[in-house]
Structure 1
């Protein structure tokens, strides 16, 4: 499995990435390792993550999210199913599930 995620930093900015191990990656962000951005901004919490079938889908999803404005990313966090529906209308993404750990 591959995961594309959005996390919130201590300065309230949003960071998007992908990984093969979501728990390990969040621990790395918490410790400020393997990411210059979260090391500088500080890790606050994981907002949402998408489970993808392939690395290609996870990377494409990361790219799509990173190209969005902050307000669009906040919309994705609040309405992930709408975002997934929009993606599937444009391209053939294989998103297996979406999880909002803060709920």
Structure 2
């Protein structure tokens, strides 16, 4: 029986109240990597950690997950917060 690979777009709330969007096939492992300071250049500084997973969406293709990440990253913060609110995520600072 073949298993279907899953791809995820996720959003982190960083310790400095910034938002980070990313892509992964294992969100739990990826968040731990970010918190270890090894995830991405953006989350590497201690001022951005710890990070907290506030949203994730599952996709059946890598392309779809990467497109969701790209759309999120290329919009103003206000639009990112509106997107999260539409998804039922209310970010408190």
Q: Same fold (TM over 0.5)?
A: yes
More helix by share: 1
Deviation at 1:78, TM superposition (A): 1.2
TM-score, structure 1 normalization: 0.74
Corresponding residue for 1:48?
55
1:70 paired to 2:73:
no
Deviation at 1:34, TM superposition (A): 2.8
Q: 2:24 touches 2:30 (CA, 8 Å); kept in 1?
A: yes
- Aligned pairs, how many? 83
2:30 paired residue among 21, 25, 40: 25
The runs of at least 4 aligned residues of structure 1 exceeding 4 Å deviation read: none
TM-score, structure 2 normalization: 0.81
Corresponding residue for 1:35?
40
